[in-house]
Amino acid sequence: MKISRLLLMVMAFIVASGLLLASGMAAAPSPSVDYHIYAGLLERYVHNDRVDYAGLKQEEALLDRYLDALADIDAQRLPDKERFAFFVNAYNAWTLKLILANYPGIHSIKELGSIWQSPWKKKIARIDGKQLTLDEIEHDILRPQFRDPRVHFAVNCASKGCPPLYDVPFNGRDLDRQLDHVTRAFINDPTRYRIDGNVLYVSRIFKWYGEDFNDDPLGFFKVYAEGDLKAKLQANPQGWQVKYLDYDWSLNEL
C-alpha cells in the first residue's frame, strides 16, 4: 500500500513538472521589434506623400542601424500581425536604403535594374539570417502568407504611382486600423482614380495583382469608397467599365 502511494506521488510529481515545463515554454516571450529609429526617420523625412531623400541621406547611418537591428530579429517567432507589420516595414525600409545607396542622380527606382535583373530581384534585405529580395518579401511572404489585399497600399516602391509611404511604422496592435487607413486614403484620393462617363480608371496595381482583388477592382472600390466617390459609384451600380491608368515610375521625392 505504501509503495503504491509512493508511486502515485512520484507520478504526480513527474506530471506536474512536465506541465510546468510546458507552461514555461509556452510563456517564452516573443522577440520585440524596436521601431523608434525608423519612426523618427519617417517623421522627419516623409511629408505630403513624398520622401525627402536629400535630408534622409544625411542620416543614412541611422537607417543602417535600424536595418542591422531588423537582421537580428527572429521574425518567425513573432505573432502573425506583428510579423505582417515587420515584413511591411522591412520592405519599405530596404527600399529606402536601395534608393539612398544610389542617391542623388536617380530619377526612378527602375534605373537601378538591368536587362538581367530588376531592382526588386537584388539580394539586399538581411532578415532571419538570409539575404532576401524585395520580391521575395512581397510575393513569397506577405502576399501568400497573409492574403490581405490591403498590403498593396502599405508597401512602397519609391514611385509616385505607388501608394504613398506611410509616415509611421506599422505595428501588430494597430495593424488593421493602419491598413484600413492607407487603403481608404489611396482609394479616395482623386489623383489616384478618374471617372469619365461610365468608365472608372484605377491604378494598374489592380491589374497587376488582380487575383488579390478577386479580379473585381470595382467591388473593392465600393468597399472603401467614401463621400463623393461612394455616391458616384452608387448612382451607377451596374454600368461601370474599369480601365487602368498609366503608372508613374518617377521617384517619390519632395
pLDDT tens for 110-123 read 999 776 789 999 99
Classified as helix, coil or strand, 49 is coil
pLDDT at 25 over 50: no
Give the pTM: 0.86
195, 199, 201, 205: CA torsion to nearest 10: 140
pLDDT tens for 136-185 read 999 999 999 999 999 999 999 999 999 999 999 999 999 999 999 999 99
Classified as helix, coil or strand, 1 is coil
pLDDT at 4 over 60: no
Residue-level pLDDT at 89: 98
Residue-level pLDDT at 30: 59
Residue-level pLDDT at 50: 97
Residue 41 in contact with residue 59, Cβ under 8 Å? yes
Residue-level pLDDT at 1: 45
